[in-house]
Amino acid sequence: MAYETSPKIKCEDVWKVFGSGSEDIIKNWDQYKEMNKVERLEKTGCVVGTRQASFQVSEGEIFCLMGLSGSGKSTLVRCINRLHEPSAGKVFIDNQDITTLSDLELRNVRRKKMGMVFQNFALLPHRRLVNNAALGLEVQGVDKKEREKKAFEALELVGLKGWEKNYPYELSGGMQQRVGLARALATNPEILLMDEAFSALDPLIKRQMQDEFVKLIKKVKKTIVFVTHDLHEALRIANHIAIMKDGAIVQQGTPAQIVLNPAKGYVEEFVKDLPKTKFITARDIMQKPDNWVLPVDCTTEELVNKMNKHTLRYAFLVDENQKVKDTVDYFSFLASNGFSKPIEEIPQEKRPSFYPTISVSGDTFLESLLNKAADTKVPIVVNDDQGKIQGIVPRETILMALQSA
């Protein structure tokens, strides 16, 4: 996995062994690795929570640690903020190895950079919501007026405006989890660690929270490490996923990489019954647009030469902002004269677009792409939020993805 800038979080060969013989287990792992947990516990008195775990999280990314109960995902996420002290390995936050920090230095990093949301909402029942949301700020020593102001803002951000003076028992489970999220956001951390945050919710509420969470994170621009046992949840919300088994990461990649190319055995079993068209996006399968686009002021000669070179039936003309202005059909242009003319000077009726340009966002799922492709022969254009072309999805690419799915 390539990173253009330094990762926000980086774990290198992280181990967490519970018990007094951790050094021996790590040093002589080959003699213990074939044992199951019970056999290992009986022989050594130790439990291996996480072993040889390495991954990186980019700033602003949602990174999921996914696995069944006992896979080590919750242990690993707690190594990131040292709620569990790693037995070996290194954990970097903004290139700073936090395993070397003193208790005071670690507390400062936690207060300024990290927040955590737990599965059990951990709200104080005798406190109103505003005071629950302000708890982290209170621990930091922020004065009452300022922390209440920030708590009100955080509660509004998670959709609880008007409920600030209520008590936790007056709220549904989903609303209580929103308070837990507001409490984490109130301190304005750069990193959120979320341990099975939605797993206690009813399925319908859980799905709503997932959707709202993704929208919220885009707005507040936090770096997230999200722990879940639910592969559907990981695929819906994550930019990257690490799948764990027996304390180790067995595969990591984008949702599409996990779905289309699962590791043999364990991961393959996980994904075999997934409706893959609901998880693969246009961004996952699009081609770089370079071969398909030319500026609107190019000549017909330049256009035809490029289309010949890349064996294209269709091409796209873009303006100076990289926005598609027209779709070009190769055979239409072969019939036109004046190859030295700028295309803009050729009357529109002599360069017809037989099919309209169809554009989508990168988050559009394969299921929707299939429906759109049925209505056109022209490759689908993938645009960013500003309408600039990001990629091209030809019909044959959609068919290949469907075969893989």
pLDDT digits (tens, 9 = 90+) for 358-395: 899 998 988 889 888 887 888 999 999 899 999 999 98
pLDDT of 119 strictly over 90: no
Residues 245-256, mean pLDDT to the nearest whole number: 92
**Among residues 255, 130, 133, which one has the least CA distance to residue 184?**
133
**Among residues 245, 262, 7, which one has the least CA distance to residue 253?**
262
Helix residue ranges, H only, 316-394: 330-334, 366-373
Residues 36-63, mean pLDDT to the nearest whole number: 92
- What tokens appear for 49 in the block? 């929570």
Residues 198-203, mean pLDDT to the nearest whole number: 76
Q: Which residues pair with 195 in a beta bridge?
A: 227
**Cβ neighbour number for residue 91 with a 10 Å cutoff:** 21
Q: In what order do the strands lie in the sheet with 324-329?
A: 293-295, 314-318, 324-329
Instruction: State the pLDDT at residue 14.
Output: 96
User: Which pLDDT band, with edges at 50, 70 and 90, does 341 fall under?
Assistant: low
Distance CA 282, CA 359 (A): 10
Share of the chain above pLDDT 70, in %: 92
Go through the domains of the chain in sequence order and give each one's CATH number.
Answer: 9-274 (3.40.50.300), 284-404 (3.10.580.10)
DSSP per residue over 324-343, as a string?
Answer: EEEEEEHHHHHT---TTSBG
**Among residues 112, 99, 107, which one has the least CA distance to residue 190?**
112
Share of the chain above pLDDT 90, in %: 40
pLDDT of 397 strictly over 50: yes
User: Which pLDDT band, with edges at 50, 70 and 90, does 2 fall under?
Assistant: very low
- 214 contacts 237 by C-beta, under 8 angstroms: yes
Exposed / middle / buried, residue 81 (Cβ in 10 Å: 0-12, 13-18, 19+): buried
- What tokens appear for 325 in the block? 């202005």
- Look up the pTM and report it: 0.78
User: Which pLDDT band, with edges at 50, 70 and 90, does 349 fall under?
Assistant: low
Instruction: State the pLDDT at residue 84.
Output: 95
